[in-house]
Amino acid sequence: MKKLAIIIISLLVLSASSNAQYKKPEEGSRINRSTNNLILGIFNPKNFTMNQSFEVSMLSSAFGNISVTSYVNSMNYKVSEKLNVSADVRLSYSPYASSSLGNSYSKMLQNDLNGLSLSRLSVDYKLSDNAFIKFEYRKMDDLNYYNHFGDYSYDRFYR
């Protein structure tokens, strides 16, 4: 404990006595204006948009209770007049889960709902004024089909 206190005190004394270096603007490197304010020279920040949303959900039933919070960041980049790329990144957290099936099932369900995921990725290409092609990936939430008995007892028609 004494060693830790000595180390912390010596770091504080050394950092308080150190001086920062001041570099005059004419001595430093000039801002490169040849990129026309592009990020990495190719991405135009004027064509980039970003929207955020926050969701809080709670489910209560005779079998248990669960709450889920989600933060979704939707990003869109217009590559050209005909090409558009967009993505949704989701951060989910389940602060509370309880189940009549036991504590281990509640913990497993809570851990399955936590995490960072790419929930949507889309590439849109406009062929003409009346036609376009859209390639889209979506991660559908599989809570309605959740089954930890394996695929052998899974019945998508609920029979």
pLDDT tens digits, one per residue of 21-66 = 666 666 555 555 555 555 555 677 788 889 999 988 888 888 888 8
The pLDDT assigned to 25 comes to: 61
Rounding to the nearest 10 degrees, give the CA dihedral for residues 30, 32, 33, 36: -160
Length of the chain as a residue count = 159
pLDDT band at 143 (very low <50, low <70, confident <90, very high): very low
Q: Where are the alpha helices (DSSP H) in the chain?
A: 2-17, 103-113
Distance CA 113, CA 92 (A): 7
Contacts 24+ apart (CB under 8 A), 28-31: none
User: Mean pLDDT score of the chain, rounded to an integer?
Assistant: 77
CB 120 within 8 A of CB 88: yes
Tell me the torsion sign for CA atoms 31, 36, 40, 45.
Answer: positive
pLDDT band at 159 (very low <50, low <70, confident <90, very high): very low
Residue 18 half-sphere exposure, CB side, CA atoms within 13 Å? Answer: 8
Give me 156's structure tokens. Answer: 């998508």
The pLDDT assigned to 3 comes to: 80
